[in-house]
Chain A
Amino acid sequence: MIGNAADLVIVHLYPDLLMSYGDRGNVLTLVRRAEWRGFSVRVIGVARREQLPTTIDLILIGGGSDRIQGLVGNDLAGRGGELAELVGGNTVILGVCAGYQLLGHRYVGVDGGEVRGLGLLDVTTTAGATRIVGRVSTRASFDNRSFDVSGFENHAGRTFLGAGVSPLCSVPKGKGNNGVDGTEGAVNGSVVGTYLHGPMLPTAPAFADALLVRALARATGGAPLRPLDDSIEEAAELSERTRHRKQLTSRGLTRTSTWANWGRAHRLPPRE
């Protein structure tokens, strides 16, 4: 134990900048699920140019626009060594959307500008001309187990995985990392990246707990966590999974669905 640190120290990186898709929900889920089991939790928001605390069990990096990603890029790149060291000490990192892209080697934006990433995940991202947008219900693989997850993706980036990572999920064609290879997200040990927000963890309690088991290792030695009543969370996930499947089916059968019409009417003008 280091000083009087809480049982679980969570760092929320750039909470004022990378926050566009309910990323706060992932933080809140981890905090509550640890607290409900009697662990003390401390959440530290770290902005640009601020120092990281000496003890960190889990780091969350959320989503943001291309512009915001450019704003945090340099600051984050400067923390590469420090974060690699933390990962060596088993700190868990979850990056969502922009946060995921920044965990990789680099992100090449719509305008061709390049943002250097942390290189903690062997992935590379290049912005495409269109965005991959929509609901996803699938299973996530982490620590040799698999978990039901549902979420929403909305990204221009096309991410391709190298040999040093495994995909987090498999998804239908047209979705996920790049719309081509049927993968979503990436994992390497305790570093996880995903495009799924929603946010993902509130309705994926078992997956949230799997991250917590690793993150709480300093306090518990990696012991399993006491089960909680997750009926509300599981019902929400199941209902979304079921509705999603129904909508996919009906859209497949009727080409001129209300949604498709709405989509046409609301088409955005081309970028200049």
Chain B
Amino acid sequence: MIAEAVSPGFIRRRARLYAGVALVSGTNGKTTTSSMLRAILDGAGTSTVGNESGANLRQGIATSLLRVPVATALAVLEVDEATLTNVMPELEPRVLVLTNVFRDQMDRFGEVERVIELLERSCDLLPEDATILANVDDPLLWPALEHRDPVGFGIRLLQAPASVPSMRVETEVCSRCGEPLVYTSRTFAHLGVAGCSGCSWRSAEPTYVGTITERGGLRLVTLEVAGERLTLPTGGVHNAYNAIAAIAAADQLGVSMSQAVQTLRSFQPRFGRAEQVQVGGRSVWLALMKNPGAAHVLIDEIADDPRVGSVVVSVNDAAADGHDISWIWDVDFERLVRAGLPLVPSGKRVGDVAVRLKYTGGSVEPQHPDPLDAITAALAVCPSDRSPVVLATYTAMLSVRKAFGGQVASLADAPV
């Protein structure tokens, strides 16, 4: 931060000390994809430098480059969507990974179109020989990049999902002509293989494909990549996307896909990404619900999982969560109700969560603003052979973790 203030060319000079720079941006999956990519590169004997979760603005990037690298090291950085155009000319990346575009932090971006425009502009600032790796299954993102010859990654499902979502997260219209998109297969939310009903646009074929062969709720997901079987110890279709993106990026940086798969078999999730904690001998799952897209994919996994017994919905509205929480009305909590799961409202906006859950028509437990109280309540209504899941926005997840850090014992001792 200080170095940045002293020398405006700091980022450029530091970045040039590395053998190469890879950037990861997009709405969801930045942290997991970049940490998977680092794990793969580290596993292949290439040392890496990266930024910590969420430190993805200009200052965080400058700070992460302060460490003195060995000449062969690669920098793997997750970059905020709006910061990308700002740092791109200085970072001169070899690889840019774009994960997806979802409605997120609209109080900051205004419109999802603005995020797409920012990502598109950032591609125009890339060095000539750089590779754009992008999610070919995202019909909002991909068409905006097509003229820059991106390399696509995508996910295919061996079996169609058990239930079709009743709620749309994004407007599903053609980027070219505005007519509705028709999906031949859908992985989650607006991601999938689609074509336009009004013009000739259709999804491109992915160069890198992961095929999901088995889904195990939040616990695991198995996919087949380049003939290899990869079981990730963290579930959900979104993590399959993160994995294929990381594998694709590693391949572009010279690590074979089979070696990448090998490393990812033991990959451990990061902050709030389907973590499991023990409370008084019982498991509680923590899942970060950043925006409606993230909520959608989590509910896909939870609703059909017989190991889940109750759900805490914890929503805060600090800057990092987004001040506007109207998106909770676009989340299919009704699916959890249909699955018979008791719901516990929590977080700083507990009142609004309680209203949202009341209008599902399902059984709603009393409100608990405090996450620890909410988890205790969720354990009390959860059958003993099942686990509660905590769906929490970013700062709500911070307070859940803080509560566990200091008071796990007292929670464990509480009557459940």
In this assembly, does A225 line the interface, its C-beta being within 8 Å of a C-beta of chain B?
no
Verify if B70 is at the interface (C-beta below 8 Å from A): no
Within 8 A of B (CB), among A243-272: 243, 258-259, 262-263, 265-269, 271-272
For A114, the chain B residues whose CB sits under 8 A away are none
Query: Are A29 and B359 neighbours in the complex by a CB distance under 8 Å?
Result: yes
Interface size class of A (residues with CB under 8 A): 35 or more
Check A152 against B361 for contact (C-beta < 8 Å).
no
Q: Does B338 contact A (CB under 8 A)?
A: no
Q: A32-B359, A68-B171, A202-B355 are known contacts. Are A272 and B323 too (CB-CB below 8 A)? A: no
A156 touches B110 (CB 8 A): yes
Residue pair A236, B113 in contact (C-beta under 8 Å)? no
The residues of A that contact B359 with a CB separation of less than 8 Å are 25, 28-29, 32, 202
Q: Does A148 contact B (CB under 8 A)?
A: no
Is the pair A135, B111 in contact by a Cβ cutoff of 8 Å?
no
Determine the distance from Cα of A70 to Cα of B113 in the docked complex, in whole angstroms: 13
Size of chain B's interface in residues, with CB distance under 8 A?
47
Q: Quick one: closest B residue to A21, CB to CB?
A: B326
How many Å lie between the Cα of A271 and that of B109 in the bound state? Answer: 12
Contact yes or no, B355 A203, CB < 8 A: yes
Among A12-65, those with CB < 8 Å from B are 16-17, 19-25, 28-29, 32, 47, 64-65
- Could you say which residues of chain A place their CB within 8 Å of the CB of B173? 16-17, 68, 71
Residue of B nearest to A63 (CB): B326
> What 0/1 readout, one digit per residue, does chain A (195-234) give for beta carbons within 8 Å of chain B?
0011100110000000000000000000000000000110
Residue of B nearest to A133 (CB): B107
Residues of A within 8 Å of B326, CB to CB, are 21-22, 25, 152, 197-199
Say which residue of A66, A262, A267, A269 sits within 8 Å of B118 (CB atoms): A269
A164-B118 Cα distance, complex, nearest whole Å? 41
Q: Residue B13 at the A interface, CB < 8 A?
A: no
A154 adjacent to B324 (CB under 8 Å): yes
Question: Once bound together, how far apart are the Cα atoms of A118 and B173, in whole Å?
Answer: 23
Residues of B within 8 A of A134 (CB): 107, 323
| Docked-complex contact A154 and B107, CB < 8 angstroms | yes
By a CB distance below 8 angstroms, the chain A residues around B348 are 243
Interface residue from B171, B320, B327, B328 paired with A16 (Cβ < 8 Å): B171
Shortest CB-to-CB span from A210 to chain B, Å, is: 18
Note all chain B residues with C-beta closer than 8 A to A236.
Answer: 351-352, 354-355
Flag whether A145 is at the interface (Cβ < 8 A). no
B107 CB contacts on chain A under 8 angstroms = 133-134, 152, 154
* B172 close to A (CB within 8 Å): yes
Taking the nearest CB of chain A, how far is it from the CB of B240, in angstroms? 27
Question: Within the complex, what minimum Cβ distance (angstroms) separates B27 from chain A?
Answer: 14
Asked whether B171 lies within 8 Å of A28 as measured between CB atoms, the reply is no
| A17 and B171 within 8 A (CB) | yes
User: Are A272's CB and B355's CB within 8 A?
Assistant: no
Measured between alpha carbons, how far is A265 from B58 in the docked complex, in Å?
Answer: 8
Tally of A-B residue pairs with Cβ under 8 A? 125
What residues on A are CB-neighbors of B172 within 8 Å?
A: 16
Chain A residues, Cβ within 8 Å of B167: 24
Cβ-defined contact, B59 with A22, below 8 A: no
B17, CB-defined interface residue at 8 Å? no
Q: How far is the CA of A152 from the CA of B354 in the complex (A)?
A: 18
Residues of the B chain whose Cβ atoms lie less than 8 Å from the Cβ of A16: 168, 171-173, 180
A235 at the interface (CB under 8 A from B): yes
Contacts of B319 in A (CB 8 A): 258-259, 262-263, 266
A240 adjacent to chain B (CB < 8 Å): yes
Measured in the bound complex, the distance between the Cα atoms of B58 and A9 in whole Å is: 52
Contacts of B59 in A (CB 8 A): 265
Known: A22-B329, A24-B329. A202 touches B171 (CB 8 A): no
B window 145-171: CB within 8 A of A: 167-168, 171
> Which of B58, B82, B110, B117 is the most central at the interface, judged by chain A CB atoms within 10 Å of its CB?
B110
Cβ contact within 8 Å between A154 and B171: no
Residue B114 at the chain A interface, CB threshold 8 Å: yes
CA distance A16 to B173 in the complex (A): 9
Q: Decide: A20 near B103, CB < 8 A? Known: A236-B352, A239-B351.
A: yes
Residue of A232, A240, A258 ringed by the most chain B CB atoms within 10 A: A232
Q: Which A residue's beta carbon lies closest to that of B124?
A: A272
Closest CB in chain A relative to B109 CB, distance in Å:
7
User: For the complex, is B182 an interface residue (Cβ under 8 Å from A)?
Assistant: no
Closest partner residue, chain A, to B357 (CB atom): A232
A268-B355 in contact (CB<8A): no
* Cβ-based interface call for A79 (8 A): no
**B329 partner residues in chain A, CB cutoff 8 A:** 22-25, 28, 199, 202
A131 at the interface (CB under 8 A from B): yes
CB <8 Å contact, A135 and B323: yes
The CA-CA distance from A199 to B331 in the complex, in Å, is 13
A68 vs B324: C-alpha distance in the bound complex, in angstroms? 20
Contacts of B354 in A (CB 8 A): 232, 235-236
Residue of B109, B167, B178 most packed against chain A (CB within 10 A): B178
| Contact status A268-B111, CB under 8 Å | no
Separation in Å of the B198 CB from the closest CB of chain A?
11
- Pick the 3 closest A-B CB pairs, nearest first: A236-B351, A25-B329, A22-B326
Residue pairs across A and B with Cβ atoms less than 8 A apart, 10 shown, are: A20-B103, A23-B329, A66-B111, A152-B326, A154-B107, A154-B324, A202-B355, A236-B351, A240-B351, A265-B59
**A24-B167, A25-B329, A263-B319 given. 19 additional CB < 8 A pairs?**
A16-B180, A20-B106, A25-B326, A32-B361, A65-B112, A66-B111, A68-B171, A152-B326, A197-B324, A197-B326, A202-B356, A202-B359, A203-B351, A232-B351, A239-B351, A243-B348, A262-B319, A268-B108, A269-B82
Show the binding face of B for A, using Cβ within 8 Å: 57-59, 80, 82, 85-86, 103, 106-114, 117-118, 121, 167-168, 171-173, 178, 180, 319-320, 323-330, 348-349, 351-352, 354-356, 358-359, 361
